Every structure is written in structure tokens, then in C-alpha cells.
Amino acid sequence: MAYDGPMKRVLHRVRQAVGASLVDGAFRSLAGVGGRTPLARPSRHGVEVLRDLPYRQGPRGSVIPEHLLDVWRPKERKGPLPVVLYVHGGGFRILSKDTHWVMALAFARRGYLVCNVSYRLAPEHPFPAALEDLSHAYAWLSRHAEAYGGDPSRFVLAGESAGANLVSVLALLASYQRHEAFAKRVWDSGLRPRAVIPQCGIFQVSDTSRFSRRRALPRFLQDRLWEVEHAYLRGVAKDDPRRELADPVVVLERGRRPDRTLPPFFLSVGTKDPLLDDTRRLAAALEHLGVRAEARYFPGEVHAFQALVWRRAAQRCWAETYAFLDEVIGPTPPATTRPALPRRGRKPPAKVASRAS
């Protein structure tokens, strides 16, 4: 039976809702199960966590869960630590700092002080709510990093997927002077990123149909990309000058020189990630501006493979990320020498990453 008109639209919405529910539930379940395993305990890795620190006050001094962050750091510290502001992904719609403990743990094990932050989510809180929140987290960090043992002169922005978009925008706000209140908050904080680590990012939220125009994508993936765009940009007029900050790669492709030097970027993505082209575009735009952009493309890897830390490709990706940071901001002693996960009987990982060609 063929459906037309209203019935077709209803079925389309039902399919999208069912798909979103399955994906959302799967991500939350995986993060929850992983967080309860013995290897997830920070103490097993020489790391401690200070949880649920408010970076922004709610009405009348209330605490809002989306305005909390966790500080992860090595237990043994010989001096100030380089600082990472980590921004989670989830299509701007789902997940939180609590689902992204593995990313915070990875950086803390390496010897970083990590601020793993939550923020308000779409569609209830569309653009630019996430940026407004993160500008407060950014300013909080500029005031408090030293008190928690961090060295703000060695500051790194990192995130994956939607979080990669958001940390790239924060880097723009620290480098291009703008008039928005959240942009001024970042600019005036005095905190300058030394490096940006955007993993498997979506760097243009508008026009997500471009991915399926380039190559055929399953309807399930098309629906997920449609949700990202329409949830995040819900109610934002196309002529709103702020809207361009949902598309950092488009801003950079215009070629305008920054008011302050843009920091080096290290980008990683799998070749089977539907968002692959956005990483290629961002690397090219940065290089055109004379910004150091190290791009790594991992053959056969899917979206957010970096979180699958027991796999060789992910371990290789993290090793190359750390090597880049050691070169850019200086090496730091790791909190532990334990591998990310036991490798019983495994052969040493083969090189699976390559630079952009």
C-alpha cells in the first residue's frame, strides 16, 4: 500500500521517533554499563574525580544539572597540570558528562586536569543555549583552573561529534572578536587555547542533507542527521547573525583572518563515518588560513570509534593525539602506566591511521 500526504508525514515522524529512541537508549545503556565495570574506577588508574561542581548559577542561586562539571586529575601531581575542557557529543540532543567518563579518564590518565562539562540540550534548549552554557564553563575555568592544580597557559579544547563542533566554535570565539554576550565572555576571559582536539565532528549543522547528496546513506542515518539540524537550529531565523556559529567550517572557509592567532588543531575521523567530509573541509580551511591542522583518517572506522578504547584503532588514535599535544604544549608525566584495557594475547597494534592526502 502506498501512502501519500498526511499519512506519509505521520509515518515519517513515527519512523524518526522510533529511531531516535533506539539510538538514545543504546548510547545511554552502553555508557552506564561501561561505567560500572572495575576498569572504570578512577582509582585503578591513579586518577581522582571531583564531581558536580557548578560552573553557572541558576535562578536565585539554584543548581541546574546541565550546569555542572566534573574535574578529573591525577592523584599524584608534581606541579601544575595542562588543562582540558572536554565537551561531550550526542547530536546536541542527548548524553552528558556522565556518559563521557571514558574520554575524561583517557586525558586524566595521561596527566591532564580535565573539566568534563554538561550543557543544556536541544530541542528544549536549541542554539545558542549550548554555547551560552559553555562560555560560562570557559570563564569558570579561567578563574578556577589554578585552584584545582591546573596550568591555564597549557589549555586544550577537546570534544567529539557535536562536542567537536562546540569546541571548534569556542576556539573561534577566543580568536575572532564578536558582539554576542557569550562570545565576549570567552574573549574577555583571558584564557587562550593552545590546541584544539575535535574528534569526528559535525562542523556544519545547517543543510545536513549534503551528506546524502554526496553518497547514498541509509534512511536511518538520514533521519539522525535531520534530527541534529532541526533540533539544534529550531526557531533560529536564517538571517540571525549568530546562526553562522552553528557552522564553524563555513566561517573558516570564508578566509577571514583571525584577530588573535588560531591554535593548532588535531582532527581524527574514521573513513566509514558519515561525517568524514566535514573533517576534510575543516582541515583544508584551517590550512588555507595558515593554521596547523593535523588530520588523521582511520580506515574502516565508524563514528566515535575513539571511545572504543579497547580497540587498536582507538588506541592508535589516542597515542597520536597525545604525541601531538606533547609537541604543542609540552609533555606531561602520565598518572599511570597501565594500558587502557588488558591486551591478553594480543599482538602490538598495527598502524591504521594516515595523514590526509
> What are the tens digits of pLDDT across the range 77-122?
989 999 999 999 999 999 999 999 999 999 999 999 999 999 999 9
pLDDT for residue 4 is more than 70: no
Contact 232, 166 (CB under 8 A): no
333 versus 300: the higher-pLDDT residue is 300
Taking the domains of the chain in order of start, what are their residue ranges? 12-338
Burial of 216 (0-12, 13-18, 19+ CB in 10 A): exposed
Taking residues 203-227, what's their average pLDDT?
93
Please, what is the angle between helix 5-35 and helix 219-232, to 10°?
Answer: 90
Global confidence as pTM: 0.88
Q: Strand 81-87 vs strand 113-117: parallel, antiparallel, or unpaired?
A: parallel
Q: Which own/partner pairs from 208-213 qualify as long-range (CB within 8 Å, at least 24 positions apart)?
A: 211/274, 211/275, 211/277
- State the pLDDT at residue 1: 43
- Confidence band for 61, pLDDT divided at 50, 70 and 90: confident
Superfamily (CATH H level) for 12-338? Alpha/Beta hydrolase fold, catalytic domain (3.40.50.1820)
The dihedral sign for the CA sequence 133, 139, 144, 145: positive
Confidence of residue 11 (pLDDT cuts 50, 70, 90): very low
Distance between terminal CA atoms of the chain? 48
Q: Report how many helices (DSSP H) and strands (DSSP E) the chain contains, helices first.
A: 10, 9
Would residue 225 be called left, alpha or beta, if left means φ above 0 and alpha means ψ between -120 and 50 degrees? alpha
Output phi, psi for 278, to 5 deg: -65, -35
